[in-house]
Amino acid sequence: MIPFQPRQRRSLVAKIARVIHIMAMCVGMCVVSDVQAQSLSDYQVKAAFLYNFAKFVEWPPEAFSDGGAPFVIGVVGEDPLSGDLERIVGGKTANGRRIIVRRLRGGQELRNCHILFISSSENYRLSQIMNSLQGANTLTVGEADEFTRHGGIINFFEENDKLRFKINVNSAERARLKISSRLLALARVVRD
């Protein structure tokens, strides 16, 4: 019943099977989307943004244990992204690293994430989570109104039914993350 576990290294056969599976999933999604509503939930779009953040942010080398280490997207709290995130980043790579998704409760393992999505269910312990991430090279992404003021880096908000995000550039610097100018151009930049 444990839904998601970090995948271990695979044999070549498993890799091929996986590629086929992903292709099939893409076609499947294409077919399925025929049946589904055309409008998207905010969480589907948030999941797609997370994938883009992985592509347009640069992590320092020390954020990865070795050259083959995967890129970890962590999700903490109630999981409105469930399914969507896996489907969107499943089998994708960011800067040559395989992306994996982990569902987390808290504690030390949060620090091992490259991107950490903190769902609004965790608002009550936001400062606690932020404290435990001090000095980590983690791109924190949240939904709470005061997220950037709590030390969070990227904060989603909605404007005219479209998804927008704020970036706290000071927090990003503290985490030694380089955010591409392309992303910054789209964001509302805030400072401490």
| 3-state SS, residue 141 | strand
CA angle 34, 82, 108 (to 5 degrees): 155
Q: How far is the CB of 137 from another protein (least distance, A)?
A: 21
Residue of the chain from 15, 16, 23, 95 that contacts another protein (CB under 8 A): 23
Q: Which residues contact 50 (CB under 8 A, 6 or more apart)?
A: 73, 85, 88, 89, 115, 117, 141
Question: Is 35 one of the binding residues for another protein (CB under 8 A)?
Answer: yes
Whole-number Å distance between alpha carbons of 23 and 33? 15
User: Interface residues for another protein in 129-168 (CB under 8 A)?
Assistant: 143, 158, 160-164
Select the residue interacting with another protein from 64, 90, 109, 166 (CB under 8 A).
90
Q: Which residue in the set 8, 9, 11, 31 belongs to the binding site for another protein (CB under 8 A)?
A: 31
- Between CA 12 and CA 20 the distance in angstroms is 12
Examine residue 4 and tell whether it contacts another protein (CB under 8 A): yes
Query: Rule CB under 8 A: is residue 98 a binding residue for another protein?
Result: no
Q: Which residues of 151-161 are buried (b: 16+ CB within 10 A; e: fewer)?
A: bbbbbbeeeee
Least Å distance, CB 66 to another protein, is: 26
Q: Which helix (H) or strand (E) holds 21?
A: helix 12-35
Q: Is 100 a residue that touches another protein (CB under 8 A)?
A: no
Interface positions with another protein (CB under 8 A)? 1, 3-4, 17, 20-21, 23-45, 47-49, 51-52, 56, 78-80, 82-84, 86-90, 92, 119-121, 143, 158, 160-164, 182-183, 186
